[in-house]
Amino acid sequence: MDKKVDWLLLDLNSYFASVEQELDPSLRNKPVAVVPTQADSTSVIAASYEAKAFGVKTGVRVGDAKRMCPGLKLVEARHDAYIEYHHAIIKAIETCLPVSAVLSIDEMACKLMGSECNVDKATEIALKIKHTIKTTVGTQLGSSIGLAPNRYLAKVASDMQKPDGLTILTKDILPHRLFTLKLRDFPGVGAKMEERLHKFGIRTVEQMFQKDVHHLREVWGGINGERFWHWIHGHDIADIKTTQSSISQSHVLSPEHRNTQGVYAVLQRLIHKAAYRLRQDGMWATHFYVKVKYMNDTKWEASSKLIECQDTLSFIEALAAFWSRQKFKEYPRPIKAAIVLGGLVPNEYHNLSLFGEDKKSQLSKAMDKLNSKLGKNSVYFAGIQDTKTAAPTRIAFTNIPDEIL
């Protein structure tokens, strides 16, 4: 019997909310919602487990969340703090085990080697990592860890027990240990893929395992199905490398735009360009990043998680929320602006809205059609009136670097 594991994946529990509870002891053991701004019309970015118990989760409108959870504490997101804790957590993990891949701000994977692959030893390491994070970074920073023969199943395992879980999947208990799960419990199986599985007569995890590799390749329409078959059967094969992980736009400001109003207008222009590319590529973004570089080499930056999004107006609204909280008198003249749409999800894996396509998406697609028919910049939002010819398209000869300014 094979009781070896090859991967450890750590998923921080309710990360943004947990950081807020760490920073402010008065929030501990209370329902907390992290929000972009203090307005009922905005949506929750993250929720603590105390808030989740009332049904509050990412994407719920703040006004609805307050009605669902009396006494809900609203906290404006502090992304600089989340990034700072992210790096501290990675350092803590690496005192126990090297980090092989940073999958997101709240997920890290570690490849196990040699004796580390022994289940008892791997369990000891996992418990040590949990303890080290809580004792050296923050007592409120709980995590769920999955141990499995490959990174994909380690992710599945990390989701099986939350919060503060530790789940072990070894080949000798596969696939039966997974039969209690739902199709949607597997990363990459969203509403659209689940519907496709149903069309092929697959409605349960057990039925999915009964299909051979060629059948799943047909279901997925290509190599993704073949890789998925290998992953769920415990084979440690390479991850799928997507052709792009982000879409970015940057621009060195002309003299007339080197002021607060000018850089804001240019950022809106960059959003128009990037969101159009996003839709043309058939992608949806789950992260939004903004950076501005100033004359003295200082930077202002902000970032936010999003519900899968590709419409221009949602990104402009996110930028407006960032902008309203900054004290720009403290900064010198801006010289460069950039935005990045990250965490891309292709159309085939996009989770469909329960309420159908919203008006913002319909508006963006209608504008695309008009601009395609009538010519570039025939239709645009008024905010870019003075910058619609700024930031001309440039061809990138290399991959987009992590540091864009």
Q: What is the set of active-site residues?
A: 107
Three-state secondary structure call for residue 288: strand
Q: What SS3 class is residue 200?
A: coil
Helix (H) or strand (E) holding 405, with range, is none
Specify the DSSP class assigned to residue 238: P
Smallest Cα–Cα separation from 384: which of 395, 371, 372? Answer: 371
What span, in angstroms and rounded, lies between the C-alpha atoms of 61 and 286? Answer: 17
Closest CA relative to residue 315, chosen from 324, 304, 301: 304
Q: How does DSSP assign 137-151, residue by residue?
A: T-TT--EEEEEESSH
What are 315's strand-pairing partners?
A: none
Quick check: helix, strand or coil at residue 401?
coil
Round to the nearest angstrom and report the end-to-end CA distance of the chain. Answer: 52
| CA–CA dist 270, 286 (Å, integer) | 17
Return the bridge partners of 292, or none: 300, 337
> Beta strand 32-35 with 73-76: parallel, antiparallel or unpaired?
parallel
